[in-house]
């Protein structure tokens, strides 16, 4: 009795295959020089910022050749800290910046700053949709040196402390904890209730670092930007990224 062969069915959805093929094509153009950088070193083609390719067999391959650092911005007040961090990293060129920004962060930016959202996003090398839980930074196999969430809202802190990875920001933070990579949370809230404190304790016991932006005055700040830069500098110190954002105590 002849058996009727079962047609082979691909395990991947066609749309996902096309998406990966498109991303690989854009990455090839970037690395081959078909997409020329402008005077700031930023690709002219904005689609490069959305490239999320898992380089099978080459986990350390990056678009820039620099180590990857994930920057998360959540919906807390004071998005100026996250913006200044992105500006500093762009100026230093020490790491390849992978940015994930929550919807709340975009709202805070519009309410508390005069900054243009597209200009902020352009400071990163790669930008992710916070709703895309299939993005590269959601996997531990995607190599990074860690993640800084600046600023970090109490909602994001709670999600990270409880392992409730409901969006890409909290999932990327969870990955850093499980892979024993550095996770720094610039928590923004005052006063704190016991739930906030317990969540900070949980993250600390899991290996994360709570680094609330506390204004310092030993470097004699003259402007608000001086205060912000000092807090950002402390975050960079935790990743051993050299900078000159403030005068150190000596």
Q: Which CATH class is domain 60-238?
A: alpha beta
**Would you place residue 21 in the very low, low, confident or very high pLDDT band (cuts 50, 70, 90)?**
low
Residue with tokens 């950088």: 37
Residue ranges covered by each domain of the chain: 60-238
Half-sphere exposure in the Cβ direction for 86 (13 Å, CA): 28
- Report yes or no: 147 and 72 within 8 Å, Cβ to Cβ: yes
Residue 64 is predicted with a pLDDT of 84
Residue 61 is predicted with a pLDDT of 53
- Report yes or no: 248 and 98 within 8 Å, Cβ to Cβ: no
Distance CA(148)–CA(239), nearest Å, equals 9
Tell me the per-residue pLDDT of 51-109, one tens digit each, with 9 for 90 and over.
333 333 334 457 889 999 999 999 999 999 999 999 999 999 999 999 999 999 999 99
Distance CA(93)–CA(33), nearest Å, equals 20
Contacts of 160 (CB under 8 A, 6+ apart): 149, 170, 173, 174, 177, 183, 185, 203, 208
Is the pLDDT at 244 greater than 80? The verdict is yes
Contacts of 167 (CB under 8 A, 6+ apart): 102, 130, 131, 133, 159
User: What's the pTM value of the predicted model, to 2 decimals?
Assistant: 0.77
Tell me the per-residue pLDDT of 173-201, one tens digit each, with 9 for 90 and over.
999 999 999 999 999 999 999 999 999 99
- Average pLDDT, integer, range 2-26: 46
């Amino acid at each position: 009795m002849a058996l009727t062969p079962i047609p082979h069915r691909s395990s991947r959805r066609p749309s996902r295959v096309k998406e990966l093929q498109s991303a690989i094509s854009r990455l090839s153009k970037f690395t081959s020089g078909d997409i020329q950088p402008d005077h700031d070193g930023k690709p002219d083609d904005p689609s490069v910022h959305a490239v999320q390719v898992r380089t099978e067999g080459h986990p350390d391959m990056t678009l820039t050749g620099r180590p990857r650092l994930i920057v998360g911005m959540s919906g807390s007040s004071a998005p100026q800290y996250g913006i200044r961090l992105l500006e500093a990293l762009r100026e230093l060129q020490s790491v390849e910046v992978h940015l994930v920004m929550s919807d709340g962060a975009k709202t805070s930016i519009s309410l508390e700053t005069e900054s243009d959202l597209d200009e902020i996003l352009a400071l990163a090398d790669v930008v992710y949709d916070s709703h895309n839980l299939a993005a590269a930074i959601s996997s531990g196999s995607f190599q990074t040196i860690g993640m800084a969430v600046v600023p970090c809202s109490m909602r994001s802190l709670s999600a990270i402390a409880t392992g409730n990875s409901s969006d890409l920001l909290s999932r990327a933070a969870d990955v850093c904890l499980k892979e024993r990579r550095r996770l720094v949370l610039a928590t923004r809230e005052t006063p704190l209730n016991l739930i906030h404190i317990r969540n900070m304790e949980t993250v600390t016991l899991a290996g994360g670092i709570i680094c609330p932006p506390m204004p310092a005055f030993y470097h004699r700040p003259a402007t608000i930007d001086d205060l912000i830069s000092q807090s950002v500098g402390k975050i960079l110190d935790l990743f051993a990224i050299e900078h000159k954002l403030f005068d150190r105590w000596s």
